[in-house]
């Protein structure tokens, strides 16, 4: 668990830096994908799924 959370933090920081510097390419796509995969394996995955479901339901009700 500690390794997964540190990887999420590392990939998250790297993704923010890549987006801030507008350096988009194959490397940033890889970092974004790895951030998503590591985030999905943490305890935050359920929260993210609930949040996305709530947003989709809110959009459908508009």
Separation of alpha carbons 58 and 12, rounded Å? 27
pLDDT in tens, 8-50: 777 778 878 887 887 767 777 777 777 777 777 777 778 877 8
pLDDT level of residue 4 (50, 70, 90 thresholds): low
H or E segment at 36? helix 26-40
Domain ranges of the chain: 2-60
Buried residues in 11-36 as b, exposed as e (16+ CB within 10 A):
beebbeebeeeeeeeeebeebbebbe
Instruction: Write down the residue that tokens 């500690």 correspond to.
Output: 2
């Amino acid at each position: 668990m500690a390794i997964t959370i540190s990887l999420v933090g590392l990939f998250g920081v790297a993704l923010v830096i890549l987006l801030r510097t507008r350096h988009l390419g194959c490397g940033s796509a890889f970092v974004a994908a790895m951030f998503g995969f590591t985030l999905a394996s943490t305890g935050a995955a359920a929260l993210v799924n609930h949040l996305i479901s709530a947003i989709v339901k809110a959009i459908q009700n508009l």
